[in-house]
Amino acid sequence: MSRGGAVAKTFRCQDAGLPCGFKATGQGEDEVVAKAVAHALQKHGVDLSQAKTLESYARRAITDDSQPRPDAPTGAWG
């Protein structure tokens, strides 16, 4: 757990169905999504016109670090 009792958030490309070891962490969903979107654009070739769809998909794959990871969503983007 992070300072102040806040629960860190995490996104992993693997949780979104991609064979990629990328992991983004942050104190809130907005921070994690920004990192995930930037990574997807740079490493997976997702163009800016797809960013909102990617953002929505990424938000569904974010987990609280204090909770067990649920089954990863199926499918892939990029």
Whole-model pTM? 0.58
**pLDDT tens for each residue of 37-49:** 899 889 988 765 5
Report pLDDT for 49.
52
Q: Does pLDDT of 33 surpass 90? A: no
Name residue 11's amino acid. F
Torsion of CA 12, 59, 33, 21, to 10 degrees: 10
Condensed to tens digits (0 to 9), the pLDDT of residues 57-68 reads 888 888 888 776
Average pLDDT taken over every residue of the chain: 79
Compare 6 and 31 and report the one with higher pLDDT: 31
